[in-house]
Amino acid sequence: MAHEFLSITERYTITSHGNGWAYEVEDNVTNETLWFQDDGANQLRNDTNNFEDDNVLRQYFECLCE
- Average pLDDT over the chain reads 94
Please give the sequence-ordered ranges of beta strands (E in DSSP) within the chain, or none if there are none: 2-6, 12-17, 22-27, 33-37
> Where are the domains positioned within the chain?
2-65
pLDDT: is 40 or 65 the higher one? 40
Please give the sequence-ordered ranges of beta strands (E in DSSP) within 7-64, or none if there are none: 12-17, 22-27, 33-37
Q: Give the β-pairing of 2-6 and 12-17.
A: antiparallel
Q: How far apart are CA 15 and CA 58, in angstroms?
A: 16
- Report the pLDDT averaged over residues 21-39: 96
Predicted pLDDT of residue 66: 61
This prediction has a pTM of: 0.91
- Report the pLDDT averaged over residues 8-17: 96
- Report the pLDDT averaged over residues 8-28: 95
Predicted pLDDT of residue 65: 67
